[in-house]
Amino acid sequence: MIIDTKNLSEDKIYKIMISTIAPRPIAWISTVSKDGIYNIAPFSFYMGVSSSPPLVAVSIGKRDDDRKKDTWKNIEETGEFVINVVTYDLVEKMNITAAPFEDYVDEFQEAGLTPLPSDLVKAPRIKESPINIECKKFMILDIADMGLVFGEILRYHIDDTLLNEKGYIDNKKIKLVGRLGGADYCIVSAENIFTLKRPDKR
């Protein structure tokens, strides 16, 4: 089968894109508005960009009424955010925070999550998530209806049991969740991890 994007509706393109770019990590982003309201939302069009400087990029869209999503607006206005990882035990709460709450709603309260102060940014961290990543806005590119938000990582907060002696997160312990197409997800668990050494590395 051959599918040209120019003959497809936006909806069909979206479906093929999100099920071929898979699995995707989820940036569960907590922010605070300029009026002090806490916000949380998940984003899976998310990637690492560079380690020097340490940059990530997250693609954030608009609401159905064409307003920027609260996360985009808050990052634009405050310049700060926290990325929290999503583990299997947190998926239901993550899903609650994907609802289109109005910007005056505190999504920590809606999802039953606990805000913790960050050290270097005003945006709160999610206590229940074992890894919180404090970021500051590096730049935002306006691309069609999306804001491609580049963030510089300032500080990691990592559960002490998760970092191994080689400096990696122990993915056999943490049960990270990935997003697939539609409402499907996958879990990173000990039995589906394998090791493959690169030919050019010892």
Residue 168-187 contact track with ligand FMN, rule CB under 6 A, x = bound: -----------x--------
Region from 5-13, 55-63, 75-83, 114-122 binding ligand FMN, contact rule CB under 6 A: 55-63
CA dist., res. 137 & res. 118, Å (int): 15
Applying CB under 6 A, which of residues 37, 41, 131, 133 lies at the interface with ligand FMN? Answer: 41
To the nearest whole angstrom, how small is the minimum distance from the Cβ of residue 77 to ligand FMN? 13
Q: Which is nearer to ligand FMN, 60 or 111 (CB)?
A: 60
- What end-to-end distance do the CA atoms of the chain give, in Å? 41
CA distances from 123 to 55, 117, 128, 156, 199 (A): 18, 7, 15, 14, 42
Q: Does 126 bind ligand FMN (CB under 6 A)?
A: no
Q: Tokens 């394998």 correspond to what residue? A: 194
Sign of the CA dihedral running 137, 138, 142, 143: negative
The number of beta carbons lying within 10 Å of the beta carbon of residue 170 is 13
> One-letter amino acid identity for 81?
F
CA distance 96 to 107: 8
Pattern 96-125, ligand FMN, x by CB under 6 A: --xxx-------------------------
Stretch that binds ligand FMN, among 64-72, 114-122, 161-169, 186-194 (CB under 6 A): 64-72
> Which ranges of the chain does DSSP label H, i.e. alpha helix?
10-20, 70-78, 91-96, 107-111, 171-174
- Does 48 contact ligand FMN by CB under 6 A? no
Q: Which of residues 81-100 bind ligand FMN (CB under 6 A)?
A: 95, 98-100
| Residue 151 lies near ligand FMN (rule: CB under 6 A) | no
Q: How far is the CB of 6 from ligand FMN (least distance, A)?
A: 23
DSSP 67: P
Q: How many positions of this chain bind ligand FMN (CB under 6 A)?
A: 18
Residues that bind ligand FMN (CB under 6 A): 26, 39, 41-45, 59-61, 69-71, 95, 98-100, 179
